[in-house]
Amino acid sequence: MVIIESYSTAVIMCVITMICWGSWANTMKLTRKHWVFQLYYWDYSLGVLIFSLLLAFTLGSTGTNGRAFLQDIAQADYKNLGYALLSGVIFNLANVLLVTVIDIAGMAIAFPIGVGLALVLGVIFGYIAKPLGNPVLIFSGLGAIVMAIVLDGIAYSRIPSVGKKSLILGIVLSVLTGIFMGFFYPMLVSSISSNLIVPETGKLTPYTAIVLFSSGLFLSSFIWNYYFMRKPLRGDPVSFADYFHKGSARDHVVGVTGGLVWCLGFSLMTLAADKAGPAISYGLGQGATMIAVVWGVFVWKEFQRAPRSVNKLLAAMFIFYLMGLSLLISAKSN
């Protein structure tokens, strides 16, 4: 299998993750208005699974290091297979909540609060699992990111068109998103061998873990996404028949593309963790918040009804977030 051999390459991969994770949700906004997020999500989850399998049978099955995908999955302990699968189930619950918040409140609130909180929890537990990097710089970076999350929440609360009920619901769902999303990655990391050149017996290579994770995500959509199909927080219930009869070929392609883009970012982050460490790789990947806010503010105009004073809050949020990400990057080299 192909493995990452340098920290600089790992950082570049995490930056690509940042772009992918901050941009995939645009595909949901590009679908037609009647194509609600619950229907979009089936194509998204299928795209994630397709990409993971393509990666496993290409980069995950070539090269001289480690174990090929099929060989690796055949020797894995049930415990590690279960952890990787369960991590996908947990993440999927968080992600369904995330797209619900995007639908209710927009990208500029869903990502900074939901994904930002996930970043904080993921980095903390990732560092506990594999303590690579300067802890002072890592946790100083987290402090700056927490400040950015607070500023974004304040800015969002000042949008006149947002009712109190929508504000509270958006923030509550974002916090739940962050809690669930913060726990999935350490569980996934625990299933992966710490040595990729000669992987530990019973443990997984990153490629196998990504496939199991993606399988858990796809299968659990029949639980989490189906629930929101029948009990939507906004709008009318939808059925599986709507997926097959109401969607155009373009709607389906856009949704699958969203899943492919997301899984590309996830895969690069997981592969980069070997050299950068889970805390730094996850922290940099979740810098996607900055990309998502740029899309939300400048492209989708989610703050256009807010008073001008909000611009200062958004500028301060960007500064604190960039400060936090810079500290995370420098943490490994100190």
Does any domain span residue 200? Answer: yes
How does pLDDT run across 5-54, given as a tens digit for each residue?
898 999 899 999 999 998 998 998 898 778 999 999 999 999 999 999 99
> Higher model confidence: residue 264 or residue 328?
264
Burial class of 239 by CB neighbour count within 10 A (0 to 12, 13 to 18, 19+)? middle
Does any domain span residue 2? Answer: no
How does pLDDT run across 172-216, given as a tens digit for each residue?
888 888 888 888 988 999 999 999 999 999 999 999 999 999 999
Query: Rounded to an integer, what distance in angstroms lies between the CA atom of residue 237 and that of residue 207?
Result: 37
Does any domain span residue 138? Answer: yes
User: Sorting pLDDT into bands at 50, 70 and 90, what band is 108?
Assistant: low
Q: What is the mean pLDDT of residues 121-134?
A: 81
> Higher model confidence: residue 289 or residue 48?
48
What distance separates the 2 farthest-apart alpha carbons in the chain?
A: 59
Q: What is the pLDDT of residue 121?
A: 85
Q: What is the mean pLDDT of residues 221-250?
A: 92
Structure tokens at 204: 């997984």
> Higher model confidence: residue 286 or residue 131?
131
Q: Which domain holds residue 320?
A: 7-331
Given a contact cutoff of 8 angstroms between Cβ atoms, the answer to whether 283 and 119 are in contact is yes
The alpha-helical segments, DSSP class H, found in 114-195 are 116-129, 135-157, 164-190
Q: What is the pLDDT of residue 334?
A: 47
Distance in angstroms between the alpha carbons of the first and the last residue of the chain: 30
Does any domain span residue 59? Answer: yes
pLDDT of 166 > 70? The answer is no
HSE-CB of 133 using CA atoms within 13 angstroms? 32
SS3 192: strand
Does any domain span residue 68? Answer: yes
Does any domain span residue 1? Answer: no
Q: What is the mean pLDDT of residues 269-280?
A: 88
SS3 62: coil
- Residue 192: phi and psi, rounded to 5, are -100, 140
CA 115 to chain centre: 7
Question: Which residue in the block uniquely carries the two structure tokens 């669930």?
Answer: 180
Number of folded domains in the chain? Answer: 1
Q: What is the pLDDT of residue 167?
A: 67
Structure tokens at 73: 């999955």
Measured CA distances, 315 to 23, 228, 275 (Å): 20, 35, 33
Q: What is the pLDDT of residue 165?
A: 60
Q: CB count, 10 Å around CB of 305?
A: 12
Pick from 66-75, 178-187, 295-304: least confident: 295-304
User: Sorting pLDDT into bands at 50, 70 and 90, what band is 152?
Assistant: confident
Q: What is the pLDDT of residue 61?
A: 96
Its pTM stands at 0.85
User: Sorting pLDDT into bands at 50, 70 and 90, what band is 328?
Assistant: confident
Does any domain span residue 110? Answer: yes
Does any domain span residue 173? Answer: yes
Q: What is the pLDDT of residue 164?
A: 57
Query: Rounded to an integer, what distance in angstroms lies between the CA atom of residue 222 and that of residue 209?
Result: 21
User: What single string gives the DSSP state of each residue in 13-54?
Assistant: HHHHHHHHHHHTTHHHHHS-TTS-HHHHHHHHHHHHHHHHHH
